[in-house]
């Protein structure tokens, strides 16, 4: 009876562990960056929009997913609005101005001990099946974002081989490293503890190098993946001072725990040959794979979904920013996965001013412009936009002229009318009291000195005698012409 109870407990525990290792399936798209209005000139005069999303589960947490190749990523998305459907012309995971700046840094340590030559169902060896699964995993690598290095380990030159890992952001280089793995040798043992210890050192060095180049730890997602089909085994003739026994296991475990790295162990092959207990201590996540398909699934689970903050950019149907006035942009994103399922996100809303044209949040990046040219070649030279801006400028100029010349006269009309001289009197014959510019006062019949009698208009003009003198008066303040206003 006790035996049955123990078996039941072990079965439940195994089921719990298996369920915990099951990957969380994505069910929706989560918004990671607010929508922005993008200026796609000079390729397109119509405005564009961009946002960043990531696959997530029902609880709103990021979930791992296999992304299409970078060249096919934009085609997996569709944007839907009340006015119709739009296809993004640009999509990028982990890069770009709107995407979450997270980088997967992955170091794969592959066991090439002699036992990896054992055949599996289907005729291929464990080593061949492992290489096939890794190649499929690399197909989802995001170039320019993921940094991957692949190194072998056995029991010879362990430290130098792992510490010489070369991280690359190009899929072709990663595949070249995979194909360059040496075939398992019959005399190769498994220095598992030392491989994990040295792998942590190699990852620390790469992270320090990236930080020196300007990256921050928040932007980096490091993963150390150890793949083996056995247990730690070292023998005479192997590298000296390799970690071994309980003390070696403790040193390797302490190295992993103090590093805070995401260390992942994958046992591949016969479960009876794998030291699952040691791998669970050495790694934070442990998976068992009996064939290439299960190994590929474990590799996919190991990838962080946080790095897959995908920036998408799509064109709007409006001809220019002016046409957007008062029309909020509401778009619902959807993404089709490789298995045919579709993830849909909440509507993305861009609030637009009601009385004026919205301002651009940013200009399109060179990568976005290249993708736009490839999918939407320029249909015109942009003269329509130039003409619109010219008409707007002329209209604004006319409004300014009216405000400058007409509005003041409309408001202060009396002052402007009194300041204008009466031209009808300027040339009249009544020049009494007029002083010339030289200060000479000209006297007429209307202002003769006392004692003189004015003559009739018909009389001949007065003749000036030699005794009469011209009176020259100094120009005073009172003689100057002033504009006066009747305050009454």
HEC profile for 290-334?
A: CCHHHHHHHHHHHCCCCCCCEEEEEECCCCCCHHHCCCCEEEEEE
DSSP state of 445: G
CA distance 427 to 388: 53
Which band of pLDDT confidence, cut at 50, 70 and 90, is reported for residue 418?
low
Residues 6+ apart with CB under 8 A from 119: 125, 126
Q: Give the pLDDT confidence score for residue 428 in this predicted structure.
A: 47
Which band of pLDDT confidence, cut at 50, 70 and 90, is reported for residue 22?
very low
CA distance 396 to 93: 44
* Residues paired with residue 285 on neighbouring β-strands, in sequence order: 264
Which band of pLDDT confidence, cut at 50, 70 and 90, is reported for residue 15?
very low
Q: What is the dihedral of CA 356, 357, 362, 364, to 10 degrees?
A: 180
Return the higher-pLDDT residue of 469 and 263. Answer: 263
Lowest mean pLDDT among 83-97, 270-284, 371-385: 371-385
Q: Is the pLDDT of residue 488 over 50?
A: no
- Of 281, 283, 183, nearest to 227 by C-alpha is 283
Q: Is the pLDDT of residue 5 over 60?
A: no
Q: Is the pLDDT of residue 12 over 70?
A: no
Q: Is 10 strand, coil or helix?
A: helix
Q: Which two tokens stand for residue 115?
A: 């036992």
Instruction: Give the relative orientation of helices 192-212 and 245-259 as an angle to the nearest 10 degrees.
Output: 20
Domains (range + CATH), the chain: 28-96+308-375 (2.60.40), 103-302 (3.40.50.410)
Q: Is the pLDDT of residue 417 over 80?
A: no
CA distance 18 to 301: 13
Q: What is the dihedral of CA 416, 418, 424, 425, to 10 degrees?
A: -150
Q: Which two tokens stand for residue 317?
A: 């149907």
- Of 214, 309, 310, 205, nearest to 261 by C-alpha is 205
Q: Give the pLDDT confidence score for residue 227 in this predicted structure.
A: 93
Return the higher-pLDDT residue of 303 and 389. Answer: 389
The percent of residues above 70 in pLDDT, for the chain, comes to: 73
Which band of pLDDT confidence, cut at 50, 70 and 90, is reported for residue 401?
confident
Which band of pLDDT confidence, cut at 50, 70 and 90, is reported for residue 221?
confident
Q: Give the pLDDT confidence score for residue 408 in this predicted structure.
A: 77
Q: Which two tokens stand for residue 283?
A: 């790694």
Average pLDDT score over residue span 200-218: 87
8 A C-beta contact, residue 93 and residue 235: no
8 A C-beta contact, residue 286 and residue 276: yes
Q: Is 158 strand, coil or helix?
A: helix
Average pLDDT score over residue span 30-39: 87
Q: Give the pLDDT confidence score for residue 4 in this predicted structure.
A: 47
Q: Is the pLDDT of residue 452 over 70?
A: no
- Of 274, 117, 271, 120, nearest to 187 by C-alpha is 117
Mean pLDDT of the chain: 78
Which band of pLDDT confidence, cut at 50, 70 and 90, is reported for residue 85?
very high
Which band of pLDDT confidence, cut at 50, 70 and 90, is reported for residue 103?
confident
Average pLDDT score over residue span 393-404: 86
Q: Give the pLDDT confidence score for residue 444 in this predicted structure.
A: 53
Q: Give the pLDDT confidence score for residue 108 in this predicted structure.
A: 94
Kindly report, residue by residue over 105-143, the tens digit of the pLDDT.
899 999 999 999 988 877 889 999 999 999 988 887 777
From the CB of residue 52, how many other CB atoms can be counted at a distance below 10 Å?
23
């Amino acid at each position: 009876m006790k035996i049955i109870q123990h078996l039941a407990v072990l079965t439940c525990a195994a089921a719990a562990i298996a369920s915990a290792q099951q990957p969380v399936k994505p069910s929706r798209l989560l918004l990671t960056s607010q929508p922005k209005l993008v200026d796609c000139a000079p390729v397109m005069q119509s405005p564009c929009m961009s946002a960043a999303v990531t696959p997530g589960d029902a609880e709103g947490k990021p979930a791992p997913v296999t992304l299409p190749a970078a060249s096919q990523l934009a085609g997996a998305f569709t944007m839907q609005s009340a006015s119709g459907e739009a296809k993004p012309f640009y999509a990028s995971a982990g890069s770009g101005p709107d995407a979450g700046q997270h980088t997967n840094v992955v170091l794969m340590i592959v066991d090439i001990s002699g036992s990896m030559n054992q055949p599996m169902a289907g005729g291929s060896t464990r080593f061949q099946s492992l290489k096939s699964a890794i190649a499929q995993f690399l197909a989802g690598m995001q170039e320019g974002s993921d940094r991957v290095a692949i190194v072998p380990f056995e029991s010879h030159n362990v430290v130098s081989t792992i510490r010489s890992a070369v991280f690359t952001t190009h899929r072709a280089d990663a595949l070249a490293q995979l194909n360059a793995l040496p075939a398992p040798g019959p005399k190769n043992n498994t220095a598992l503890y030392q491989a994990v210890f040295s792998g942590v050192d190699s990852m620390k060095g790469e992270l320090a190098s990236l930080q020196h180049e300007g990256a921050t730890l928040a932007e980096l997602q490091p993963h150390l993946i150890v793949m083996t089909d056995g247990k730690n085994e070292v023998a005479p003739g192997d590298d000296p001072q390799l970690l071994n026994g309980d003390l070696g296991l403790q040193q390797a475990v302490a190295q992993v725990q103090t590093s805070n790295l995401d260390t992942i162990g994958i046992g591949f092959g016969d479960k009876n040959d794998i030291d699952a207990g040691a791998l669970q201590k050495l790694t934070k996540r442990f998976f068992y794979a009996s064939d290439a398909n299960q190994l590929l699934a474990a590799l996919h689970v190991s990838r962080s979904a946080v790095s897959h903050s995908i920036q998408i950019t799509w064109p709007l149907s409006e001809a220019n920013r002016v046409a957007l006035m008062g029309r909020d942009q509401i778009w619902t994103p959807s993404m089709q996965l490789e298995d045919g399922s579709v993830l849909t996100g909440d509507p993305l809303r861009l609030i637009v001013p009601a009385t004026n044209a919205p301002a651009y949040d940013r200009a399109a990046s060179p990568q976005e412009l290249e993708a736009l040219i490839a999918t939407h070649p320029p249909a015109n030279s942009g003269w329509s936009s130039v003409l619109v801006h010219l008409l707007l400028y002329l209209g604004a100029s006319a409004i300014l002229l009216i405000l400058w010349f007409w509005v003041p006269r409309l408001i202060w009309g009396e002052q402007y009318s009194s300041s204008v001289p009466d031209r009808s009197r300027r040339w009249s014959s009544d020049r009494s009291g007029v002083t010339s510019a030289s200060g000479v006062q000209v006297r007429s019949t209307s202002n003769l000195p006392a004692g003189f009698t004015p003559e009739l208009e018909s009389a001949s003009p007065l003749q000036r005698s030699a005794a009469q003198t011209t009176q020259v008066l100094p120009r005073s303040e009172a003689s100057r012409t002033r504009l006066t206003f009747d305050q009454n």
